[in-house]
Amino acid sequence: MNRTPINSIPPLSAQECKARGFDGLDFVYISGDAYIDHPSFGTAIIARVLQSRGFSVGILAQPDWHSVDAFRALGKPRLAFLVSAGNLDSMVDHYTAAKKRRSDDAYTPGGKAGKRPDRAVIVYANRCREAYPHVPVLIGGIEASLRRFAHYDYWDDRVRHSILYDAGADLLMYGMGERSIVEIAERLDAGVPVHEIRDVAGTCFRVNDAAEVPDAILLPSYTEVAADRRKYAEAFAVQFEEQDAIRGKRLMQPHEKGFLVQNPPQPPLSEAEMDAVYALPFTRRPHPSYREPIPAIDEVKFSITSCRGCFGGCNFCALTFHQGRVISARSHDSILKEAEKMTRDPDFRGYIHDVGGPTANFRKPACQKQLRSGVCKNRSCIGYERCPNLEVSHADYVSLLKKLRALPGVKKVFIRSGVRFDYVLYDKSDAFLRELCAHHISGQLKIAPEHIADRTLYYMNKTPHELYEQFISRYERMNAQLGKKQYIVPYLMSSHPGCTLEDAIALAEYLKKIGHRPQQVQDFYPTPGTVSTCMYYTGLDPRTMRPVYVPRKPEEKAMQRALMQFFLPSNFNTVRKALRQAHREDLIGTDKYALVPPERMRQMRNMPKKNAKGAKKSVDKRRRNG
């Protein structure tokens, strides 16, 4: 084993390896992202954790996948190849919700697109196997994690095999992989063959005979879920329910060439373990070999991860299936040390951009029962309905924010990761809301009600609209007390399963009423591993197995999207079509309630002024007479 100096940034080339005196690497890590040595990037965390245990790691960042030669550039790894698509699923990175190719890539020098393949984990893993056939191939990261079972793929519009089979890899690590990778590395280093490593939590492996794993719950097979949408929903429901480190069971899914086995998840890292990870000597910069800026570093360079996991339970979010529902948080001391280090960076201008995680204001588990018995199988902590056992307190977060603001050199601490407004509303104390409004936003607060129709919100597992209105009132009162004029910018989504055209129209009416004109529109994006994607594919709610309406047709999706931007002239025709289809012609006109003008208004603009004036009077008279 090459004992790597812990402060040394991982090498990206054979020349760097040679300069450090390496006669070979323990691991070669293939990543779809450029290498940024910052704890916001999974590649950096795994590489640094391995280094801290004495293993040498080289990074092949965005290798040219068209030839096997690029995968031999760092030589044959002693223990294994590690393969990840990067911080995003490569298909999400490459395509919009409308399946249009993106023109840029924030994780690439210069923001250039095209530096990684579609389905990067599969392509990279197969190239690794071609380069050195007998070297173990371990896959991980978000793309592998969310595709670990047979899964619906939006871009192919079909059910695909577990990515472990398509990649031909030996092991799949899902979730946050610090513990898993260390345990696997130490076993490989001790000479244990990779095919004998079958009991590491947070991993999936393959077997040829179901009798080899007698204690697993048997899921519907790949063949069944690919042919029967109800079977798909049933399989997903079990996968989702067993996503717990304490009470979760082993799962087995038959595939055409054997059986996929998932071990239960890794427990969340303890506070001490989290602190140890974030204390590793990250440079917080891209590798020095890059000559062009990498856009992805801009927002996170001066941001701090304070927690992991999320009990929010949004059905369209994959974090539950990746990081889990139990919160793990770092100590104040650990976070303050990172902030102090930040202030010594020559590029630091006094502004910490974020202190948060998947949900910024979750700093502790939803309830103590989670730590003893695991998360509830069939109950959400917070969402459309609040669990009566939910423990609500912002005291620890408020204390942390005050300490950060008091650091020499810190001018302002922003909170830019998601704030759950319902959790704020449930807090009997106004302390956090006061701190937030007084110190941690600048003019506007971005929050995510996602919709206003309760039917749609139920399928999203988001709080009912009435609570959003209550929060707005509370937010406005607080700003008035502070003498501030600050606003709310809501994130909203179109075409989610359960959202009818009537719901989309109701949202448009609400937007007109409050005078909000969204500049960007978020369409529902069916990514692997979410409850909402299961609804989208099957037409069933896996929580109840009841049918759910799904807006799938491009025409209706375009209508829902246009309704959110009804004020754009380019959308008028589409909005009028939607309103007529829903028999809401009352919203076509010139009065204060109308969303769009009638078609004749366009003709009037092309008439001589005298004729146009008479035509307008005629239209107004007909509207008054019904």
Query: Has residue 365 got a pLDDT over 70?
Result: yes
pLDDT tens by residue, 515-527:
999 988 899 999 9
pLDDT tens by residue, 525-551:
999 999 999 999 999 999 999 999 999
What is the sign, positive or negative, of the torsion defined by CA atoms of 331, 310, 457, 393?
negative
What does the pLDDT average to over 136-163?
Answer: 98
Q: Quick one: pLDDT at residue 617?
A: 52
C-alpha distance from residue 131 to each of 67, 128, 137, 350, 365 (Å): 10, 5, 11, 47, 45
Most distant CA atoms of the chain, gap in Å: 91
E strand or H helix at 217:
strand 217-218
Domains of the chain in sequence order: 14-203 (3.40.50.2300), 302-442 (3.30.750.210)
At residue 379 the predicted structure's pLDDT band, cuts being 50, 70 and 90, is: confident
What does the pLDDT average to over 354-380?
Answer: 93
Neighbours of 272 (CB within 10 A): 10
Joined together, the tokens standing for residue 342 give: 């930040």
With vertex at residue 386, the alpha carbon angle to CA 265 and CA 393, rounded to the nearest 5 degrees, is: 80
The share of the chain scoring above pLDDT 90, in percent, equals: 91
Q: Mean pLDDT, the chain, as a whole number?
A: 94
Q: Quick one: pLDDT at residue 299?
A: 86
Q: Quick one: pLDDT at residue 6?
A: 55
* Residue carrying structure tokens 């998601």: 418
At residue 611 the predicted structure's pLDDT band, cuts being 50, 70 and 90, is: low
Q: Quick one: pLDDT at residue 418?
A: 87
Query: Has residue 608 got a pLDDT over 90?
Result: no
Q: How far apart are CA 442 and CA 69, in angstroms?
A: 50
Q: What is the pTM of this model?
A: 0.93
At residue 479 the predicted structure's pLDDT band, cuts being 50, 70 and 90, is: very high
What does the pLDDT average to over 230-249?
Answer: 96
DSSP letter for 95, please.
Answer: B
Q: Quick one: pLDDT at residue 612?
A: 47
Joined together, the tokens standing for residue 289 give: 């070999």
Q: How far apart are CA 126 and CA 83, in angstroms?
A: 10
pLDDT tens by residue, 5-45:
556 899 999 999 999 888 899 999 999 999 999 999 999 99
Q: Are 498 and 425 in contact, with CB atoms under 8 Å apart? A: no
pLDDT tens by residue, 420-477:
999 999 999 999 999 999 999 989 999 999 999 999 999 999 999 999 999 999 999 9
| 31 beta partners | 61, 84
Q: Quick one: pLDDT at residue 603?
A: 54
Q: How far apart are CA 525 and CA 87, in angstroms?
A: 17
